[in-house]
Every structure is written in C-alpha cells, then in structure tokens.
Amino acid sequence: MIKVGIVGGTGYTGVELLRLLAQHPQVELRAITSRKEAGLPVADMYPSLRGQVDLAFVAPDDAALTDCDVVFFATPHGVAMAQARELLAAGVKVIDLAADFRLKDVGVFEQWYGMPHTCPDLLAESVYGLPELNREAIRTARIVGNPGCYPTSVQLGFAPLLRSKLIEPTHLIANCASGVSGAGRKAEVHTLLPEASDNFKAYGVKGHRHGPEINQQLRLIAGDASVECLFVPHLLPIIRGIHSTLYARLNDAGRAADLQAVFEQAYAGERFVDVLPAGSAPETRSVRASNYVRIAVHKPQPDTVMVLVVEDNLTKGASGQAIQNMNLMCGLDEALGLTQVPVSP
C-alpha cells in the first residue's frame, strides 16, 4: 500500500484528492493537514466523505509526512517549495498541485507569482506532470509539478498539430472558460452566487499566470522557441468544468492532412483522452467529476483548424491528474482509482 499525505486538505482540490484516493485500492491515507481546522474530522467538513475518510485534520507541524511514500500539496503557491527539501531527503515523493514546480525560469515564476523561488535546484530537477505528453520522465521523478487546469486542455489540444508540424506556430489562440471552482474555496466577491450566476465574462485579459506556463510547454512540445499562444480565460456560471476553443492557421502540410486521423493516431491507446467523431462538439457535462478529456477537431476554413477540448478542472485539471502522476511514479497502472464514469446530468 502507498502511504499518502495531503497538505492542505480543506480546499476544492484537497477534497477532490480525498474523494479519489478514498477509492484507490493501493492507497492508505495517513495525514491530512490544515492549520485552521486541526482536530476537526474530515467528514464533518465534507459529509460526502462519511464512511470513506475517517481521519481528522492535523496541524502541519504534527503530521508525520516524512513517514509517507507520497505527499500531495493542495496548497497556495509557495508552500510546497518551503517543505519539499525535507520530504525528498526522507525519500518521500512530492506532487505539487500549485505552481512552485511548473515554470522552469525562476525569473518568470517570480514575475507572475510575486514571491522568490526558494529552491531553484529542485525546480531544475522537477518534472512537469502531464502524463500523455511526459509519461516516461514522470515514472522516475521524485518531484512533479502538476499542470494548471487551463494549460492541460490547451496542450492536449495543440500537441498533435505542433508535433506533426501542421500549423503556423507564431499565432495560436486559446479561448478558454472555467467553472467557478477554479477560483478555489476562499470567499471572494466575484465568485459569490449573485455575481457569478447568470453571467459570463473574460478575466485576466491583460495577462494571466497560466499564459507563461502554456507557452513554455507548447514550445517544448514543438521544439520551437517561436511558438506563441494568446490565452484568454473566461468565467462560466457553472461549478466545475473547462471548455477550451483553440485556433491555429494551417500550413501547407496541415491543409492537406486528415486532421481527424492525426488526432486519433496521436491519442490511440490513451485511457483518458477521447477523440470524438468528426463533426462533434464536446460538452463539459460529459466529463464532470471524471479524469477524462474529450476532444473534437474541426476545419471551419481551408486554412484554419479549430480544436474543442473539455475537462473537469478539479479532476483531470488538478487532483485526478495528480493521482495519475502518483500511479506512474509508484509503478502502478496509470488509471488505477481513476476510471469513474462522468456524472450526468
């Protein structure tokens, strides 16, 4: 059994980790930390976990995290890098759901997250945890930076086109929308029901911290430093789900290619990426509470490709993907504990 600890178990990604790990046949939950809620039974905060998780929250200083095999950080940015060195020294594998180990350029991280990076040596060692694109490196990693929710959908949508060199790389567009849970559990005016319900808006128009992450990874996928993606996020009046509409200009090879076949071949055998039949339009409810991504590719004009991608921002966009990474790091079947059927309606 894999002994697992979770740092920051009270937020939405934390409770999603608990929901999924409680059903994982090879996991033993050892510790769930919270400074504010220490001593409170987890099921008292989240009644959905009654009979599934019998632990109480513990203060971080009282949690025996070094006795675990894997520790997940479902915490604000900056927490994982403060504790990672001690855990790694004890032989614990670390998976961070925040941004501490995503951006390889320390200066870019500090610019977008407004804090110094305290362990650049560990950042250099860390592996970016998108299994469909980085599986072999994840298998041998000690520390994984779990991708952002938006970047997951954008990379999976553009990767087949970039790898096959079918599109012009310098002006990609990612028009993405997320449910309100992507903002986290903290109380803020813009996520209040009267503010977010019956409304639709763009945000981060002048620049969003997922933009540098998207461009870093697309350039690595393409092997081309000229790749540039314009990313604009939007807030949907739903609780969970991401819908990304991606656009690119096809080059000569792309205009002649069978784009449907390109995507089907790229994701053949992938357990969690479903390439839909030609002409389809995926819906967020088709992946709700699951680790699946559904993709449809269209050619609305002879020189333009449009890719539609849906995922659950809390599952494949965060906690489910983190468990997928854990499975790989621990030599387990990658899909173990993650094959729940999406919830509909």
Q: Which are the catalytic amino acids?
A: 149
Residues in the chain: 345
Contacts of 37 (CB under 8 A, 6+ apart): 10, 45, 57
Name the one residue in this structure whose structure tokens are 């000229």: 226
CA atoms within 13 A on the CB side of 290: 20
Q: How many CB atoms lie within 10 A of CB 51?
A: 9
Number of other CB atoms surrounding residue 345 within 10 Å? 4
Name the residue with tokens 């995290």.
65
Spatial distance between the Cα atoms of 174 and 245, rounded to a whole number of angstroms: 6
CA 41 to chain CA centroid, Å, is 27
DSSP E strand boundaries for 2-48 = 2-7, 27-33
Integer CA distances (angstroms), 200 to 44, 286, 288, in order: 34, 21, 20
What is the end-to-end Cα distance of the chain in Å, rounded?
A: 35
2-7/27-33 β-pairing: parallel
* Tokens matching residue 166: 């079918």
Q: Which amino acid is at 153?
A: S
Q: Write out the two tokens for 80.
A: 């994982």
Q: What is the largest CA-CA distance in the chain?
A: 63
Pairing state between β 70-73 and 2-7: parallel
H/E element, 328:
helix 320-329
